[in-house]
Amino acid sequence: MIEKRLKTRSVGGTLALGQTIYELMLPAPRMVILSGELGAGKTTLVKGIAEAMVAAKSEDVTSPTFTLVHEYRGPKLRLYHLDLYRLETEQELLTLGLEEMESQPDALVLVEWGEKFPSVMQRARGAIAISHLEGDERAFMVRML
């Protein structure tokens, strides 16, 4: 198990941290839960990870709050970015095809608000908790299995 505490002082720092966190996830693709209150920086971190994967430019990565799932394809891995904030039941979760996404050998699945669902938490191979500090500062607790 890998466990790291990290801190950033700006949006740019959070984007750059995406590279470090992506490297912690390698070599095995996995499902990782991103937790933190609204505005903590979950989507900003995904932007940085997508850039590190060469799957998308940060400005092309948006929150999937209303679409629920965004897919980005890199040269080696595909990135699925999910936001479960608006979902309330396991039945709604089943309609997303999460099992199919995570079963793909070339997939990295990043799930915002996954902690709402015990089934997602059980399958996750990592978690990143983001805490908002003062101003643009953020604290990250990264745990990878």
Residue 55 belongs to a domain: yes
pLDDT value at residue 26: 82
Whether the predicted pLDDT of 27 surpasses 80 = no
What's the rounded Cα separation, in Å, for the pair 48 and 18?
4
Query: What is the distance, to the nearest Å, from the Cα of residue 7 to the centroid of all Cα atoms in its chain?
Result: 17
Q: What is the pLDDT of residues 63-120, one digit of tens each?
A: 988 899 999 999 989 999 999 999 999 999 999 999 899 889 899 999 999 999 999 9
Residue 63 belongs to a domain: yes
Q: Which domain holds residue 52?
A: 2-137
Residue 96 belongs to a domain: yes
* Three-state secondary structure readout of the chain: CEEEEEEECCHHHHHHHHHHHHHHHCCCCCEEEEECCCCCCHHHHHHHHHHHCCCCCHHHCCCCCCCCEEEEECCCCEEEEEECCCCCCHHHHHCCCHHHHHHCCCEEEEEECHHHCHHHHHHCCEEEEEEECCCCCEEEEEEEC
pLDDT value at residue 81: 97
Dihedral (Cα; 72, 113, 97, 54), 10-degree rounding: 10
Q: What is the pLDDT of residues 47-73, one digit of tens each?
A: 999 999 999 999 999 998 889 999 999
Residue 65 belongs to a domain: yes
Look up the CATH number of the domain holding residue 32.
Answer: 3.40.50.300
pLDDT value at residue 5: 96
pLDDT value at residue 25: 87
The total domain count for the chain is 1
Residue 145 belongs to a domain: no
Residue 57 belongs to a domain: yes
Residue 117 belongs to a domain: yes
pLDDT value at residue 88: 94
Residue 144 belongs to a domain: no
pTM (two decimals): 0.93
